[in-house]
Amino acid sequence: MSQNSIFLKIKSGEIPGKIVFEDDQCFAIEDINPQAPVHVLIIPNKEIAKVSDSEESDKKLLGHLLLVSKKIADKYNLNDNYRLVINNGADAGQSVFHIHVHLLGGRGLTWPPG
Ligand code: AMP
């Protein structure tokens, strides 16, 4: 498994970034180009490129990312109003190929997204 996604470089301190949460399975950073007052990325330590590359054995890890997202939303006082997004594939807007959950909140959000 390679260990060199841009997110892992932030985790290791190789490049700057604001880490707001870490545990034994994942970490979270503030997005460099925020689309909402709160825009945090929740990222597994395991470098899976995208959801469609995940396997049955990743079930607990993927579930963990959602529970951590909830914890971070509470930390940012989002009062149970936020959006979780996972882009899968370039045509769906994915630009960093290391699975991450976007946590967006702090403003009203419309649907459908662009
Ligand atoms: P996606 O397009 O779904 O793959 O999301 C990738 C996200 O990573 C985008 O929202 C970018 O703004 C964000 N991003 C890219 N580089 C960095 C960085 N160095 N630090 C923090 N966020 C980043």
Q: List per-residue pLDDT tens for the chain, 114 residues long.
A: 455 899 999 999 999 999 999 999 999 999 999 999 999 999 999 999 999 999 999 999 999 999 999 999 999 999 999 999 999 999 999 999 999 999 999 999 999 998
Is 111 part of any domain? no
Does ligand 1 have an atom closer than 6 angstroms to the CB of 34? no
Give me the CATH number covering residue 100: 3.30.428.10
Measured by CA distance, the residue closest to atom 3 of ligand 1 is 94
Q: What range defines the domain where residue 66 resides?
A: 6-105
Question: Could you tell me if 89 and 52 are in contact, meaning their C-beta atoms sit under 8 angstroms apart?
Answer: yes
CA distances from 54 to 37, 47, 77, 105, 108 (A): 30, 10, 31, 27, 31
Per-residue confidence (pLDDT) for residue 3, from 0 to 100: 58
Question: Could you tell me if 96 and 5 are in contact, meaning their C-beta atoms sit under 8 angstroms apart?
Answer: yes
Is 58 part of any domain? yes
Is 90 part of any domain? yes
Q: Which residue has tokens 């970490």?
A: 27
Does ligand 1 have an atom closer than 6 angstroms to the CB of 16? no
* Count of structural domains, the chain: 1
Kindly give the distance from the C-alpha atom of residue 97 to the centroid of ligand 1, in angstroms, as a whole number: 10
Residue 100 is a catalytic residue = yes
